[in-house]
């Protein structure tokens, strides 16, 4: 379920949480399931523009790429990147304008395999507010933004509800959002930064296994 996130916040809730306006409010639509298997746009805050909530396509693309998004994703999965592979990621190494971003969500999904059956869980903030996931983004030649989710080792809370992978989306605590978007965090310091700043009280609930896209 690493390729499914959720954003059920209203426009006003997103703006209030982030403390900045939506750059293109007409583009935002609430969705219980945002799947990485389809070309979708997601609200993000970028290093380049920290004063507005921008929108980016989920799945990194090369700057000069001019074919279909799906064709590239069929060749190379750029929806996620593991934190321990950042230094040796061939796609990221080839991008000239790669930078960090925050992805705004209200939840993500996990899967637990037990006695031959899968059980799906929805992970959200305890207070049901939006929160931030860490990511990397780049800008295409036509001005569009594309991003990848940063995955880090799952914490103890998630381990109880996920056993098909050892990784989870990387949560960035609101208190450290500005530091994540600053130039003060280098590649060598990212793992330590995440370990110290990613904690957030979570609400985890089981959901119907036949999740429908919205």
Residue 39 within a domain: yes
Residue 212 within a domain: no
Query: What is the C-alpha separation between 188 and 112, in angstroms, rounded?
Result: 32
- Average pLDDT of the chain, as a whole number: 90
Query: What is the C-alpha separation between 163 and 113, in angstroms, rounded?
Result: 7
Query: What is the C-alpha separation between 109 and 206, in angstroms, rounded?
Result: 10
Do 23 and 120 contact (CB within 8 A), yes or no? no
pLDDT of residue 163: 93
Measured in whole angstroms, how far is the alpha carbon of residue 201 from the centre of its chain?
18
3-state SS assignment for residue 156: helix
Residue 133 within a domain: yes
Residue 214 within a domain: no
Find the mean pLDDT for residues 14-21.
97
Residue 100: Cβ-neighbour burial (10 angstroms; 0-12, 13-18, 19+)? buried
Domain count, the chain: 1
Give pLDDT tens digits for 61-115.
Answer: 888 887 888 888 888 889 999 999 888 888 888 888 899 999 999 999 999 999 9
Q: b or e along 101-132 (b: 16 or more beta carbons within 10 Å of the residue's beta carbon)? A: bbbbbbbbbbbbeeeeeebbbbbbbeeeebbb
Quickly state the pLDDT bin for 2 (edges 50, 70, 90). Answer: low
Residue 213 within a domain: no
Q: Which tokens is 101 given?
A: 């971003």
Task: Tell me the CA distances in angstroms from 207 to 65, 67, 132, one per residue in order.
Answer: 38, 36, 22
pTM (two decimals): 0.93
Task: Tell me the CA distances in angstroms from 57 to 78, 84, 85, 138, 165, one per residue in order.
Answer: 11, 23, 22, 10, 24
Query: What is the C-alpha separation between 204 and 102, in angstroms, rounded?
Result: 22
Residue 201 within a domain: yes
Q: What angle do CA 143, 130, 79 make, to 5 degrees?
A: 45
* Percent of the chain whose pLDDT exceeds 70: 96
Sign, Cα dihedral of 25, 27, 32, 33: negative
Closest CA to 120 of 8, 9, 14, 32: 32
pLDDT of residue 212: 42
pLDDT of residue 214: 31
pLDDT of residue 81: 94
Find the mean pLDDT for residues 43-69.
92
For residue 67, give the CATH number of its domain.
Answer: 3.90.1680.10
Give the domain extent around 157: 4-207
Do 55 and 14 contact (CB within 8 A), yes or no? no
């Amino acid at each position: 379920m690493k390729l499914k996130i959720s954003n059920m916040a209203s426009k006003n809730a997103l703006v209030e949480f982030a403390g900045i306006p939506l750059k293109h409010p007409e583009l935002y639509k609430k969705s219980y399931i945002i799947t990485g298997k389809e070309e979708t746009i997601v609200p993000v805050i970028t290093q380049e523009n920290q004063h507005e909530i921008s929108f980016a396509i989920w799945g990194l693309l090369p700057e000069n790429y001019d074919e279909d998004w799906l064709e590239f994703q069929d060749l190379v999965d750029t929806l996620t990147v593991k934190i321990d592979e950042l230094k040796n990621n061939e796609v990221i190494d080839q991008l000239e304008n790669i930078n960090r971003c925050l992805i705004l969500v209200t939840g993500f999904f996990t899967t637990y395999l037990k006695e031959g059956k899968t059980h799906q869980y929805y992970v959200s903030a305890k207070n049901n507010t939006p929160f931030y996931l860490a990511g990397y983004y780049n800008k295409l030649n036509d001005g569009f933004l594309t991003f990848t989710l940063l995955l880090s080792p799952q914490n103890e809370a998630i381990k109880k509800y996920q056993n098909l992978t050892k990784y989870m989306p990387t949560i960035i605590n609101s208190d450290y959002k500005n530091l994540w978007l600053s130039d003060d965090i280098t590649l060598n310091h990212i793992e330590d930064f995440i370990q110290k700043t990613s904690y957030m009280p979570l609400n985890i609930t089981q959901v119907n296994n036949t999740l429908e896209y919205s």
